[in-house]
Structure 1
Amino acid sequence: MKIIAVTSCPSGVAHTYMAAEAIEKAAKAADIEVKVETQGSIGIENELTASDVAEADAVILTKDMDIKNTDRFKNKTIVKVSIGDAIKKAPAIMQKIKEHVEKKNS
């Protein structure tokens, strides 16, 4: 299973990267492949490629700020979470995504 995520917060600094790290850690623990793009104060980093998007089973988007280029996620399962939940509840989010994708694929 592969997921992608885009994180962004109002200040574009700490929480953007804290959320990315929490998502990466939780995905690894759940045996899920993940790539996280950050849209912080210094711009877009670790930008998702068309291939990343095509291969993804689900997309996590933080909802505290507008995410740039969301049109690239058309026809994907999108999970919108607050930046706080991405940081504090990443393992639960991974579990729900895993259950949803497994159910969808069975």
Structure 2
Amino acid sequence: MKIAAVSACTIGIAHTYLAQQKLEDAAKATGDSIKVETQGTIGIENVLSEKDIEEASIILLAVDIKIANESRFAGKKVVKVSTDTAIKSPRKLLAKLHEIANE
């Protein structure tokens, strides 16, 4: 499954990048493809392209704050969780994304 994701925390440092790493590791373990855009203190990195969004089966927002350009996900299945959820239970989260994507 292809997943497009955004991670962003309130301070924009630790949790933003921890969530990215945990999600990427979990996706690798489950055989999923994921691209995680980070919106942290140094700005937006690894920006999701229109193609990334279009090809994604589901959009994951692991965020604790309002993110930039959320409207670009209109018409897609979007799941929003806290960065804490992505960090503590990334495999359970990906399993849930599979369920939702197949609904």
Deviations 1:18-50 (A, max 9, x none): 000011111111111000000000000000000
Q: Distance in 2 between matches of 1:39 and 1:100?
A: 25
Deviations 1:38-64 (A, max 9, x none): 000000000000000000010111231
In the TM superposition, 1:1-106 aligns within 5 A as 1-101=1-101, 103-104=102-103
Shift of 1:8: 0.4
Deviations 1:51-86 (A, max 9, x none): 000000101112311111011101111111011001
- Which portions of structure 1, spanning 4 or more consecutive aligned residues, are displaced by more than 3 angstroms? none
Unaligned runs of 5+ in 2: none
Shift of 1:98: 1.2
**TM-score normalised according to structure 2 size:** 0.95
Contact 1:7–1:36 at 8 Å: present in 2 too?
Answer: yes
CA RMSD of aligned residues (A): 0.9
- How many residues are matched? 103
Q: Distance in 1 between matches of 2:81 and 2:46?
A: 20
Q: Distance in 2 between matches of 1:100 and 1:45?
A: 27
Q: Distance in 1 between matches of 2:94 and 2:78?
A: 13
Unaligned runs of 5+ in 1: none
Contact 2:8–2:67 at 8 Å: present in 1 too?
Answer: yes
After superposition, the Cα gap between the structure-2 partners of 1:63 and 1:17, relative to the gap in structure 1 and judged at 3 Å, is closer
Contact 2:6–2:63 at 8 Å: present in 1 too?
Answer: no
Q: Distance in 1 between matches of 2:17 and 2:31?
A: 21
